[in-house]
Amino acid sequence: MKSVLLFLLIFTSFSLHAQESLEKLLKKHNIKSVPYISVQELAMPKTEAIILDAREIDEYNTSHLQDAIFVGYNHFNLAETTKILKDKEQQIVVYCSLGIRSEDVAEKLQEAGYKNVLNLYGGIFEWKNNNFPVYNLEEKETEDVHTFSKTWSKWLLKGNRIFKEEKEDE
């Protein structure tokens, strides 16, 4: 019984620590210029948001949220994206790995006059960490999630971490 309680205590403190760390990470990199939406809110059946993936093509090709539209980050094209987004009142959710790059893309949409733009808190990592499904290019459910690098992969707690090996500094 003591070992079960000890396990629960350690697991709970790890989960809280991970959330606190994610909160600190997002505070460090984001200015909260775009409101967050939680993965739980986005997963609700009545959510009819347009979902934009602000990661790079390798990441999107590995897995993405269902019905997500790839818009990229390094080569994000506002003019091309606005051709897809006809209604400036429509709810738009932008996500990336953790919610850092997506804030930049979401800001550009806000500046272009979109009124209901949200940033997915914790991105696809938080989505997968909460057991929500991700899909490959064939739109089949997968456990693979591109974590960008070994460094960022620590934030993905569930699923298979996919990334290119980083070169060691010489």
Residue 154 in 3-state DSSP? coil
Read off the pTM: 0.83
pLDDT digits (tens, 9 = 90+) for 98-155: 999 999 999 999 999 999 999 999 999 999 999 999 999 999 999 999 998 888 999 9
Q: How far apart are CA 162 and CA 139, in angstroms?
A: 18
pLDDT in tens, 72-103: 999 999 999 999 999 999 999 999 999 999 99
Q: Tell which CATH classification among 3.40.50.300, 3.40.50.720, 3.40.250.10, 3.40.50.150 matches the domain 32-162.
A: 3.40.250.10
Segments making up each domain of the chain, as ranges: 32-162
Sign of CA dihedral 6, 7, 12, 18: positive
